[in-house]
Amino acid sequence: MEKDIKTGSIEMTAAMLISGTIGWFVLASGQPVIDVVLWRCLFGALTLIAICASLGHFRAGILTWRLFALAVLGGVAIVVNWLLLFAAYSRASISIATMVYNTQPFMLLAIGALFFKEKITMTKLFWLGIAFAGMIAIVEAKPAGGFTGGDYLMGIALALGAAFFYALAALVAKRLKGTPPHLIALIQVITGLLMLAPFAGASGLPTQASQWALLVTMGAVHTGLMYVLLYGAIQKLPTHLTGALSFIYPVAALAVDRIAFGHQLQPAQLLGSAAILIAAAGMTFGWTLPRPAGHQTDEAVQRRNA
């Protein structure tokens, strides 16, 4: 058990560090966003085909038509998520786009309340309020590093849209429990290929070897290898540790943006980013607020009335 936790922690840390560097690869490739996502899907598919074949995921009966349709639906959501997030990087910076993208838990909360009648407790509303205050601080902050006001706001909107579609993909993934995750990922990237092929390539093929190297890496490493590490870690780690290590991703993205592009957050942006991360952590780990003596929590009232 202890060995599994150690191995899983290493795998999760590596997966989050890889995820945190993808913004640099996107911008350094110099390619249109739609082309970047297309090549990521292509090279990711080639990598995942090899992985799935080696794990025996192509045997008959492993996937029903219903599960296949759900995986395709999740693929549409995850590819739109990539398109929006990658487009946000050049408009609001990798740092800001990543911080805004970390509002995903609250997108899930909203979708659950609207479509699945899930109850929103006062504690969840508190964390939502903290995240919203952080968002306002980021929006109101003066853009730095050459980002203009209109583009900056568009970047924030794109990152919010990316978080929404990621939440949709996460909801679909819950319905696919028990299905080999690498097979789901393969279906998703092939779905992306079919979606984007008619629209990509308007600017022609990359002309430099370095561009090809970046695109291949995004497919093979940021998609294929990252999925292997991430799902390997999830299988070995308790939920709270998986959640804790997932916060390495935004920290890595901040570091990459600072080192590679020299982007430094303004004080209000730092404050807003910290508020979003703290609120996301509160939601992830179920932190509750101090209660006066004798006061029952929302959860306790629910249990009493059940």
User: Is residue 298's pLDDT more than 70?
Assistant: no
What CA–CA distance (Å, rounded) separates 135 from 68?
A: 37
| Mean pLDDT value of segment 185-191 | 96
User: What integer pLDDT is reported at residue 175 of this predicted model?
Assistant: 86
Provide the token pair at 292.
């006066």
| Residue 118, pLDDT score | 79
| 15-36 pLDDT per residue, tens | 999 999 999 999 999 999 999 9
Q: Which residue has the tokens 């203009």?
A: 148
pLDDT band at 160 (very low <50, low <70, confident <90, very high): very high
On the question of pLDDT at 232 being above 80, the answer is: yes
Average pLDDT, the chain: 89
Q: So where are the chain's domains?
A: 1-198+208-288
Give the rounded percent of residues in the chain with a pLDDT score beyond 70. Answer: 92
For residue 164, the model assigns a pLDDT of 95
Confidence of residue 276 (pLDDT cuts 50, 70, 90): very high
* 236-258: average pLDDT: 90
* Tens-place pLDDT, residues 87-141: 999 999 999 999 999 999 899 888 888 887 778 889 989 999 999 999 999 988 7
